[in-house]
A and B are shown apart, each in its own frame.
Chain A
């Protein structure tokens, strides 16, 4: 393994950094914004659990992305990740709703087009269907939780101060779970395309053995954590004013809903449990945590009587389902052409 590998890996690490900076705000944003949890505490918990989730449960979603397109050359993987990162950066700058997941899927499809490999449309439609299911499912869970929490508060007659303590503990616990689910679900976006060209041999750490992809996921997890520590505070502060009106209890419901959705679409254990009981399974696909959050907030809005819901946001999300992968695929296609013809690098085998 030489230094060039890390140069090529840098685009994935950059994508990981931006994911950490942006998506950690979805997990701990309100808790930190409302001063229920200190940023330092949130960042440490988020980093630890993102890495655990990525390393020990990130395999399932990566496999699905691999089925969509096995990016088999390192320069190709570099460009797929970089294109996704550029698409995300450009769309964020243009104030358009964006999802890293949708960007990476677009990039992979762009690579498939360029390399001539056939895109598995069954897998693609499975992935796209989860983009639609994700906010709806998150909204449904949020509605159920909203009524359940209200019922509990009404009947328990808990003192406001005690309720505050439990909410605080709940926000930390669910934040840890959310970070784990984010790591497990979204590591595929960051490192998935590098799995096929991974040079890492299994590593023994005491009683644990880390496989090659797991070492890759560890690096991706660290990149996400660096993003959490170095930049997410700014994002939290920016969105803080927007979510401040949310009560800490609502924030808790939103994070639980989002985390459950991310977990459902990442957990191999849950998939095994469902299939062993003859129940229909959900695909293991990376989904957008931001859209899960929006789905949950909309769900609560509906539960509260539908007042104050900005339906235009839903239209913007739906637009993002098409524009993000399309832009990402286009950037990837053009960039692969330059990489191959200007720099003489092998972008596919």
Chain B
């Protein structure tokens, strides 16, 4: 009997840890991406960038493992029956953000976009905004599990930063198309900028859903 009780508590603790770890991975990937782009802009496809890109791939791989674990445990142990579908959707969406970071960093590696030095500062700013947006999204999602009354506070930050991201990416695209670089280059850079800015859009979509889930989470 006591064994069953302790086993139940330890299983619960283990799943809580996995969910926390999964959120850590989102923050990790955002921070690493920010650093990777800064390195790319300074050194192009250097060894340092390759390492950071690999690191992002590893985080994505670990997050996938955690996601699968969380999902199977929720079903196998028949946990939170009323909110399980919401939690699964949330975890899936968060995983999409991590995947997108991986895809974009790989795109930088493969396509080697050629950003002229005058755009470096704005590109760094855009990546910082995207990372900040994602970080706040992760904090909001973590709050959903522990302290759902604060989800709204972080959501507002995500909305604000996402809007800033749109402005930054818009200004960059405008400046690029006003420049004298070849059209192919312009389109290439704009595509990359859109890919980066899209990450903030996905975070915003996640927050929209999270706010609905939070209403359901309240008893």
Contact = CB atoms under 8 A, between A and B. Distances in A.
- Tell me, yes or no, whether A binds B: yes
Chain A interface size, under 10 / 10 to 19 / 20 to 34 / 35 or more:
20 to 34
A159 B146 contact: yes
B12 interface: yes
Contact of A35 (B9, B78, B83, B217): B78
A160 B145 contact: yes
B104 interface: no
Contacts of A248: 81-82
Interface of A (DSSP majority class): helix
A165 B14 CA distance: 13
A260 interface: no
Contacts of A149: 219
Interface string A151-165: 001100111111011
B147 A157 contact: yes
B19 interface: yes
Chain B interface size, under 10 / 10 to 19 / 20 to 34 / 35 or more:
20 to 34
A160 B12 contact: no
B187 interface: no
A40 B204 CA distance: 44
B219 A160 contact: no
Contacts of A253: 219
B80 interface: yes
A35 B144 CA distance: 23
Nearest to A251: B82
B170 to A, nearest CB: 38
B147 A160 contact: no
A247 interface: yes
Given A161-B15, A161-B145, A146 B219 contact: yes
Nearest to A248: B82
Listed residue (A36, A161, A162) with the most chain B CB atoms within 10 angstroms of its CB: A161
A34 B82 contact: yes
Nearest to A163: B80
A74 interface: no
A34 B81 contact: yes
B175 interface: no
Given A164-B80, A165-B12, A159 B145 contact: yes
B200 to A, nearest CB: 26
Interface in A156-190: 157-162, 164-165
Contact of B9 (A164, A165, A249): A165
A250 B16 contact: no
A238 B28 CA distance: 48
A150 interface: yes
Nearest to B218: A150
B183 interface: no
A159 B144 CA distance: 9
Contact of A154 (B9, B144, B149): B149
A273 B14 CA distance: 45
B21 interface: no
Given A161-B16, A164-B80, A150 B219 contact: yes
Contacts of B15: 161
Given A153-B219, A158-B146, A247-B219, A35 B81 contact: yes
A250 B9 CA distance: 23
B85 interface: no
A160 B81 contact: no
Given A159-B19, A160-B217, A165-B8, 6 more contacts: A34-B82, A160-B144, A161-B12, A161-B15, A161-B80, A253-B219
23 contacts: A34-B81, A35-B78, A149-B219, A159-B16, A159-B145, A159-B146, A160-B80, A160-B83, A160-B87, A160-B145, A160-B146, A161-B12, A161-B19, A161-B79, A161-B80, A161-B145, A162-B12, A162-B16, A165-B8, A247-B219, A248-B81, A249-B219, A250-B219
Interface of A: 34-36, 146, 149-150, 153-154, 157-162, 164-165, 247-250, 253
Instruction: State the 5 A-B residue pairs at the shortest beta-carbon distance, nearest first.
Output: A249-B219, A157-B147, A164-B80, A160-B145, A35-B81
